[in-house]
Copies of this chain bind each other. A is one copy, B any other.
Amino acid sequence: MEELPPLKLDTEVISLEDTFNRKISQDIQSPIDVPHFRKSRMDGFAVKAQDTFEAEEDNLIALRLIETIEAGSIPQKTVSAGECSYVATGAAIPEGADAVVMVEFTDNENGTIFISKAVSPGSYVIGIGHDIKKGDVIIPKNSLVDLPTLGILSACGIHTVPVFKKPIVSLMSTGNELVTHDAQELEIGQIYDINSIVLKQAIENTGTTVNYLGIVKDDFKALTEQIEKGLKESDIVLLSGGTSKGEGDLGVQVLDTFENIEVQVHGVKIKPGKPLIFAKLHQKIIFILPGYPTSALSCFFVFIDDFLRKLSGYPLRSKNTELLEVGERIYSPIGRHHFKPIQVKHIDGTKKIFPIKTGSEAISTIFRSSGYIEIGELEEIVEKGDRRTFYTY
């Protein structure tokens, strides 16, 4: 699906706390130096380095302690020759001082500090802008906000952040047989709607907002109205069901009535999940997934998950792959590229691939599967003992 167009997302300014996993919409510069004052790297005494040049263990230099400066407090006195101020780790270095002597190399006797080690100018002083300089681009446009990004933004005192809006997907399930999962009792012929709740979560997991439009009956007018509503309210419309009805394909029939729409059918030769309908209309995209939940979710992962993540900036799912031995012959229909859900079992300490006997009509198929293998269009049999790459969803 390389032909999927990059949708253009609007931008918004949000509070720093809400930016985790959001995509930054413009280069962000630091408004301040970090640190913005000279600070001590250690607990010690701020001195004029020159005063310590002669200091050795057998030649202690005496300095007069004029102030104690804790982290967070403002130095009140300037250090002159022969003087020093106590500085805690992280505390501001007072005017006049240009180095810190670690507390380990000092002795305090009634306010006189004896120094046993020479320090050079700058020792244990973290300079202004040492970490980040005012005006530095700290986060480039299009970055995804992760924990270190939150840290940098906090350090610079930035509390509102320009980000791209999340893409919005309008979601609906279609089918006369579907009822919501909190319905009281099922009539004969009815089943609970699974795709709404599973696909809603799958879409949200990609950093995308869901605009849920409910269950739509297999009715031309109702479906047209809901697709139009979805196109108005979101960037992408995603519906499941209605692609393999005996009466023809209601979803495609509706799409064909839109002007300037480009409809493509994917995966006619793919199993499970035949077919996936994909349409472009102006700057919007419509997906129609198959109705069986196992097929719908497989199709979502194979075709749509990466697309939404690239759009939102979310990291792609790490698709674990392993080359494993097949533990039992697996059959596959000729002429279909098969994403075959399989189970991985430990046999004598070795992981092996086994077929799942239920089909895509069973919700438990994907539940019981460890992942899938790919079986080519021209392969009818994968023999026991073959080695195959196993993918997790």
Contact = CB atoms under 8 A, between A and B. Distances in A.
Contact of A198 (B90, B150, B182, B244): B150
Nearest to A192: B157
A245 B181 CA distance: 57
Contacts of A130: 362
Copies of this chain present in the complex amount to: 2
A69 to B, nearest CB: 8
Interface stretch (A47-55, A70-78, A271-279, A379-387): A70-78
A149 B293 CA distance: 12
Nearest to A158: B181
A178 B35 CA distance: 13
A363 B92 CA distance: 18
Contact of A191 (B90, B153, B159, B176): B90
A70 B218 contact: yes
Contacts of A70: 176, 218
Interface stretch (A4-12, A36-44, A57-65, A343-351): A36-44
A154 interface: yes
B176 A73 contact: yes
A187 interface: yes
A66 interface: no
Contacts of A235: none
A132 B194 CA distance: 14
Q: 5 closest A-B pairs (Cβ-Cβ)?
A: A72-B177, A72-B176, A43-B246, A159-B182, A148-B367
